[in-house]
Structure 1
C-alpha cells in the first residue's frame, strides 16, 4: 500500500494527461498547452510508465481514455482543480476578492432559473468572478469532470454519464411541442402527429439529454421519422424561426414557459407526461464547494422552488 505520492509524478504529467483526455487529441492538447506534440506524447508515456498501466488508447484519428485512464482522470482532474482553487484562493485573498464561480447551465435553466438566482447571488457581494456558460449536456459534464466548471444545472444525465458525479434533484419538467400563436395545428380537430410530417420540426441534438426521450415519445405515437428536421440547441434560433414559419419546436418546457405565458408561443395540446425528467444540480463527488459556490447553490435552490410554485399555480388557473 502506498503511503505517499510517487515523487516522479509532476504537475506537467497531470496537466498533459487531463488536457489530452478532454480534447481526445494529442495535437489539440499540445496547441492548448503551447508545447510540441512529441513533448506531450513523451509526457504521457512517462506517466504511463510510472503508473504501470495504459491511460490512453487509439480511437480513430484521436484517442480516448482506457478503463484505467477513466479512473485516473477523475482523481487527476480533481487534483488540478484543487490546486487551481488553492492558488486562486491565495491570490483572491490578496486582492480581497472571492474565488471564481463557474457554472454550466442547460438552455432550460439559463432562461428559467439562472437570471433570478444570479441576482440573489450578486446581492451577497462575494466579489467572486462569475461565469455562466450554456451548451449540450455531454459537453458541460465533461467540462465539470475535468475541473473547468464547478457546477452543472440541468437534467439528470444517463447513469453511464454520472460516474464520479453526484446529482441533487430540484424539480421535474417535461417536453413541450411549441408553435407560434395562430399555428394551424392549434385548430380544433387537427391531427397533430400527422401534421409533424408536413411541418419543419426543431429537434434537440443527438448529444442532448432529452433526445432519447423525444425519439421514444415520437415512435410511441406513430412518428418514427420526420421529413423536415432541424437539430438545434439554440433557443434564440428557435424563437426567431417559429415567428416566421409553421415550425414545431420540441423543447423542455422551461425554455419556453415565459413565451407561452406571454401568448407569443403556444404548446400543442399533447399529453407529454411520459417525457418528464428530473432537473437539478450536478457536481463532482470528490469536490467541496467554496463559500461563494455554496451561496449560489442556495440561490438556485430558492429560485427553483419559488419558480415551480408559481408555474404550478399558473398551470392550475389555466386549466
Structure 2
C-alpha cells in the first residue's frame, strides 16, 4: 500500500534529479527553485527513511537505495502520464500516441518505412519521433516521456527498469569520400588515420566505447585530429568536401557506400559489433497501438536481413 505522504511532485522531482544528476539542472527543468527541489527530495527521503542521493565531488549521484526506488517511481509516473494521454485521446476519438526515440542508424534505414506502414494501418495514433544520444533517449523512456527506443543496447547502468528485445547486430564502419587518398593503398591499418581529420562519435554515444576499445587494441591511445559528432548530416557534408575519415555505425552510411558516394576502409571491425533492438519499460504492458508499431518495425527489419 502506497504511503499517502508520497505525492506526485515527490516522484516527479526525484526522477528529474536522477535524470539530470544535478539539483540545479532539475530545478531549471521543473521551473522551480533549487531550495524547493532540495526540500522535496528531503521530504521523500524522510518518508522512505533512506538517502536517495549522495555527494560525488562537486555534484551528486544516486545511491543504491535510490536505484532500487528509481524503477518503481518511473513506472508510477509513466502510468499516470499514459493515463492522462489516454484520456486526452479518448476525448478526440483517436488512438493513443506512440512516442519513439531512435538512434541515427535506425532513422536512416528502416524507421521511415515502418512509420509510414503504421500510419497507413488506420489506428488514428499520432507518432512522435525523437532523435538523440542513447543515454538521453533511455532516460526519457524511463521517465515515461517516450514509449519505445529503437537503437543499440545500452550499458548496464542505463538499463535499470528497462527491457531490451534484440533485432539484429551491427558493426561500426570507417568511411571516406570516393576520392580519398587512403583508398589508393593496397592495405590499410588504423595507424594511417593520424594525418587526417577523423569524425568520431561523441563520448556520450553508445558506440564510442567500442571505437575507443578498437583503437586501443590497435595500439592507438588517441588520434591527434578529431571532431566529435553524432550528426549524420554534418558527417556526410564534411567527408564529401574534405579528405577526412568518418567512424560511424554502418547502417547510417550503407546507402552512401552502395551508391559509390563513400567508400569503406577495409579492416576487421568485428569487435565493434553490437545488438540493435527495441527498448521498453520493463513490466509495462504495451497498448494495441504500440504493439502494432513494434511488430511493424520487426517486419521491416526482417525484410532488410543481411543489409545492416
**TM-score between the two structures when normalised by the length of structure 2:** 0.94
Q: CA, structure 1 residues 10+175, in 2 after alignment: closer, same or farther (shift >3 Å)? A: same
- Select the residue among 265, 274, 280 that pairs with 2:262: 265
Distance 1:226 1:75, change over 3 A: same
Matched with 1:307 is 304
In the TM superposition, residue 102 of structure 1 has moved relative to its aligned partner by: 1.3
Q: Write the distance in 1 (CA, Å) between the matches of 2:305 and 2:193.
A: 30
Native 8 Å contact 2:13 2:41 kept in 1: yes
1:50 aligns with 2:47: yes
CA distance in 2 between counterparts of 1:266 and 1:14 reads: 50
In structure 2, distance between residues paired with 1:263 and 1:236: 17
Note closer, same or farther for the CA distance 1:24–1:161 as it changes in structure 2 (3 Å cut).
Answer: closer
The Cα shift of 1:198 comes to 0.8
Q: CA deviation at 1:30?
A: 2.6
TM-score, with length taken from structure 1: 0.91
The answer on whether the counterparts of 2:53 and 2:63 sit within 8 Å (CA) in structure 1 is: yes
Q: 2:60 aligns with which of 57, 63, 66?
A: 63
C-alpha RMSD of the superposition: 1.7
Deviation of 1:31 after TM superposition, in Å, equals: 3.0
For residues 158 and 19 of structure 1, do their structure 2 counterparts lie closer, same or farther at Cα, with a shift above 3 Å needed?
Answer: closer
How far apart are residue 192 of structure 1 and its match?
4.0
Q: Which residue of 2 aligns with 1:98?
A: 95
Unaligned 5+ residue runs, structure 2?
none
Alpha carbons of 1:239 and 1:97: their partners in 2 closer, same or farther (altered >3 Å)? same
Tell me, in whole angstroms, the C-alpha distance in 1 between the residues paired with 2:237 and 2:246: 11
**Are residues 77 and 187 of structure 1, via their aligned partners in 2, closer, same or farther at CA, if it must alter by over 3 Å?**
same
> Deviation of residue 222 (structure 1)?
3.4
Change (3 A) 1:213 1:31: closer
Cα distance in 2 for partners of 1:138, 1:16 equals: 19
> Gaps spanning 5+ residues in structure 1: where?
313-319
Q: Is the 8 A contact 2:188 2:265 kept in 1?
A: no
Q: Tell me which residue corresponds to 2:213.
A: 216
Q: Deviations over 1:252-307 (max 9, x none)?
A: 10000011111111111222223211111111212221211111111111111111
| Residue 205 of structure 2 corresponds to residue 226 of structure 1 | no
C-alpha contact (below 8 Å) 2:15/2:73 kept by paired residues? yes
